Structure 1
């Protein structure tokens, strides 16, 4: 019974996070909402594992948490530097005429 209530509460929190995702207003609000949705998904997978008596769902939840973390870092790096890899295109500074 208690896990069923927790499942409903996490699902409702996921719906609220979706509203924040679409409402914005900034890019970072949306990235934070996607990260929060991923965290709630990890919680939901863990709770569902306990509900169905499948403790191996926790392994899946941990893997999803790692993917969520790395994906968030990659998205933030891309929006900051406009590149994912090590190669950064840096514009040369304009020469100042004296």
Structure 2
């Protein structure tokens, strides 16, 4: 009887490197997520998805500005628009992350 209890408790034991802060944080996040899900709550990932979408838009703007077909004097206005929109989008993303 005691062996089955020990085996069942060993199945739930999670191990991590105590000298690695990222590993500890990941393990704590995973454990809290498991506890919350076991109590019947659903995980809401909409905020994470919106941050990923906004980050993708920022990367696309940077890539389009870098690899635009025309050479510099012809695409001056386009580059100014991309350069102006990049810090604006990054600041929106940072505000979104810190305020929510």
Select the structure of larger CA radius of gyration.
Answer: 2
Specify the TM-score bucket, using the shorter chain as the normaliser: 0.3 to 0.5
